[in-house]
Amino acid sequence: MIVSSPSSSDPFIFIHCIKKKPDGIWEKPSINEGKIIKISLEEIVMILRVLNRQTLNWQSHHIYKDKKTSLSFSWEDEDANILWINIGIYSKMLNLAQTEILRLLLIHLLKEKIVYSTIPKRTSNENKVIKLKQEELCNRNKIEEINEESDCYKNDLFSDIALRGDILKDLSNVDGIILGETEKAILIEFDNKEVWVPKSTINNHYLPRKNLSQKFLINNWFLKKNSLIP
């Protein structure tokens, strides 16, 4: 017996029954062998009443293309240790552990389908609008995150300046944009001039993001050597 659910938004599940053929080979659902039956949400509730031992049995029947299929879930006796499932000519016996697994599975599927199959389906245009709003919100959050990180590094820069005021005469605070990075140097664009700057000459924390304008506290001798300051 196979229990399947094609989609969480469908208000039903399928139970597929298979058995061994006379040659000893199992029937194959992939070539439409066996018996498949659609179970509605209401029927799942009634089956769960049996599995929860609120009643000893439940039976119904399905009619499809003028063919009637009987369906029943029944405990073997009042001890409720053996469950019999009968769907048409197919029968399946479940022990206590197997029955509990089936019960938990049906509870999970029922809860999921109550959430997703009972809400109105959105049109394609509504889905596009929601997707655009989600992308807009995501981009806005990214911008806020970058701004927060930038403010954090600016504060670090000012703290560095206050703590090391005695060496400020040998440093300059310049604007730049990171274009690339290696283990020991950073490629920074200064007023349309690209220069590889050794990390050892940078004396403040910086944001390791490309294409973002930020402050760099760099040794004057290096800036003069590369004609970045007079």
Average confidence (pLDDT) per 10 residues, the chain, 230 residues: 85 89 87 88 94 92 83 90 92 93 93 78 60 68 54 50 57 91 92 92 86 90 90
The partner residues of 218 in beta bridges, in order of sequence, read 172, 202
Domain 2-116 has CATH 1.10.10.60: no
Continuous segment of H or E residues that includes residue 218: strand 213-219
- pLDDT at position 147 is 54
The partner residues of 17 in beta bridges, in order of sequence, read 35
- pLDDT at position 62 is 87
8 Å CB contact between 146 and 209: yes
Cα distances (Å, whole numbers) of residue 16 to 2, 19, 82, 88, 168: 5, 10, 20, 11, 79
pTM beyond 0.75, yes or no? no
CA dihedral for 118, 119, 125, 130, sign (positive or negative) = negative
By DSSP bridging, strand 35-40 and strand 2-4 are unpaired
- pLDDT at position 163 is 46
- pLDDT at position 161 is 47
Contacts 24+ apart (CB under 8 A), 23-26: none
Residues 6 or more apart whose CB falls under 8 angstroms from that of 132 comprise none
Can you tell me whether residue 108 is helix, strand or coil? Answer: helix
- Helices 41-51 and 96-116: crossing angle in degrees, nearest 10, is 150
Dist. CA 106–CA 38, nearest whole Å = 14
Region(s) of the chain under CATH 2.30.31.10: 2-116
Can you tell me whether residue 91 is helix, strand or coil? Answer: strand
Dist. CA 99–CA 105, nearest whole Å = 10
